[in-house]
Structure 1
């Protein structure tokens, strides 16, 4: 897929359709703007936050302009405000993925304000799970756990096992970072069980479509890896990579590099180098701050190894900024 053509066709095309000649907005215009958000989800899954965040910001500005300059009935007003909140949340996620945490926090705050104003539980769950992930990333695990629990309280009435599985995996990571490894194992077991039941309850919301058995395997691998049990992490990370749909290019790159990191830390430098070099095929298109940081970690581990590992590290260096 040619990224520039895809962007022009799927996101840019909505620019001319946001307002009719009468400047009166109806359901068709809202549908076009929502399709633009769906395209941003697809681009993010394939390429990562670095490449897409500017598009998302422009799309949010477009929606704000419609809200502030067009005419529309009250039913359309709520749809536009909700769409603005969802797009602000996507801007937050993309900036998080790109490593711009303060900007991500601002957009998540905007989205949470919108969710509160509209009393929209679905958007609030989306924002709370995002803020939980960021808090764990920034070494605030207690806050991350509390945010995930708040998301779970709102998600239970939805009756979506896939959504509850996602939230349980966030709780597990927070508990592990808090040092409660027994609690983390218990919540991750719950996440696996709910993932097994994903086809029996209500489907997950569109934004949670990425969550699957692959994601739960990846979290299990991370828990072992972060506990220093690198060999135990390897089979779960391999399973995550094998299970991950190829449409999720950014996640596949991240999974493979995380596998390479665990192999290197487990003393399997040759396998680690093979996985790391194999990940370079993904990096031709993926632009994600998280992926680049993981690549740097693997490069540094290989650079401290033998001659063959150091040669692989030099090849990886060419793909670092």
Structure 2
């Protein structure tokens, strides 16, 4: 720093007040941020007391994204309401942090210039994908839409293999990139609904990635954003896709009646438009919702409707529905059975699923193996359960899906608590695997 130049940073009294209200010291807040970040990303961000003091002093006016997200979840308010101020160039993206969706309108450029295409990358913990180059000024057209969709499909492929926690941040970056281009550029009435549709598709995907990462509130905000764009695009099938995601989340949270209502609305709205695979998926959502409420007869009836709908499915579903196969229907039936407490039947269905030809997505394989281990354990087949759980443990370093990783952790804890033969050996290997994962991520 040059001599005589003084930096004045205003103290963050908002954050200081919230810390006082919650009885948190700087060291305690750092610990809470690390814990929340681990829940979000399955990895540490290395927050220290020094970080917190720099936020409080105003030396850092806009923390890095992962700190902001952890703080947002911790205090249940956006970063802009925590006393932080985004740099001018980032204020448009801070709206996404706050969960606020700003209506997207075409903006005419101040002056006619040749558009400048830029090449950026979506960086995940396991790969870097090229963001589609979009004009900084000028017109957006259908070729731009196709490039965006191609990148979104690659994100889904990564999600299928590695889990949502790996790609949630990259998906958000893609959304902001496309939304920014939509604000800066002009486009015709033919292109406009396609832009809203592709933004809605990306928002739907990011919501699913966040859900898979165990971040339910963030997932719901993204799905709300996706529904608004689906309405602007006048695309009922996109709405149904998002409702299918929301119904699955509601089942996980124990809201069976809400889950069934959401899925039925999706079926009614898309009755004349949907593909057989989407119909099958929506009926499995109703089946699981009924299972959550303890209605076995209604659940079985919905599963039968799903099988009938699947027989009418097209051969080439959209990328997000690629997972919907006969094996997936068996997987959903197994989830319904285990939810109803029939673990032996659930284990049988999972084992029948293994015999089905399928494109085995690694994340789904991890979920399948973990759920089968739980069903075997609860149906009194402990030896098989530990052998199956050990297969899931071996996948753990390669799949970042807290939704299923938490189930494997619960399996470990339950087995140890019940003092089953073989439980201590499995727990020891599981703990070593988790410790190795932590070392690799720090």
Is the TM value for this pair above 0.5? yes
Is the counterpart of residue 65 in structure 1 residue 180 in structure 2? yes
2:212 equivalent to 1:92: no
Name the counterpart of 1:38.
153
How far did residue 96 of structure 1 move? 0.5
Distance 2:263 2:357 in 1: 24
- Find out whether 1:207 has 2:323 as its counterpart: no
Match of 1:161 among 255, 259, 276: 276
Deviation of 1:196 (Å):
3.4
Aligned ranges 1:211-290 → 2 under 5 Å: 211-243=324-356, 245-290=358-403
- Please, which runs of 5 or more residues in structure 1 have no aligned partner? none
Does structure 1 retain, via aligned residues, the 8 Å contact 2:124–2:166?
A: no
Question: Aligned runs of 1:41-60 on 2, under 5 Å?
Answer: 41-60=156-175
Q: Distance in 2 between matches of 1:91 and 1:63?
A: 14
Work out which structure has the larger RCO, using CA pairs closer than 8 Å and 6 or more positions apart in sequence. Answer: 1
Give the CA deviation at 1:242: 4.1
1:17-72 CA distance string (max 9 Å, x none): 1227x643222222111111111111111111111101000000101111011232
Matches of 1:26 and 1:283 in 2, distance apart?
Answer: 42
Q: Which residue of structure 1 aligns with residue 309 of structure 2? A: 194
CA RMSD of aligned residues (A): 2.1
Q: In structure 1, what is the equivalent of residue 75 of structure 2?
A: none
Residues 214 and 243 in structure 1, CA contact (< 8 A), matched pair in contact too: yes
Q: Give the Cα separation in 2 of the matches to 1:105 and 1:166.
A: 19
Would you say the 8 A contact 1:163–1:205 is kept in 2? no
- Report SS of the residue matched to 1:156: coil
Q: 8 Å contact 2:325–2:358 — kept in the other structure? A: no
| Unpaired segments ≥5 residues, structure 2 | 1-122
Which of the two has higher C-alpha Rg? 2
Structure with the bigger percentage of helix: 1
- What's the TM-score once normalised by structure 2's chain length? 0.67
SS of aligned partner of 1:112:
helix
Matched ranges for 1:97-176 at <5 A:
97-158=212-273, 160-176=275-291
Shift of residue 6 of structure 1?
Answer: 7.5
Distance 1:24 1:197, change over 3 A: closer
- The answer to whether the Cα contact below 8 Å between 1:93 and 1:104 also exists between their aligned partners in 2 is yes
Is residue 124–residue 169 contact of structure 2 (8 Å, CA) maintained in 1? no
The reply to whether residue 317 of structure 1 matches residue 431 of structure 2 is: yes
Which residue number corresponds to residue 422 of structure 2?
308
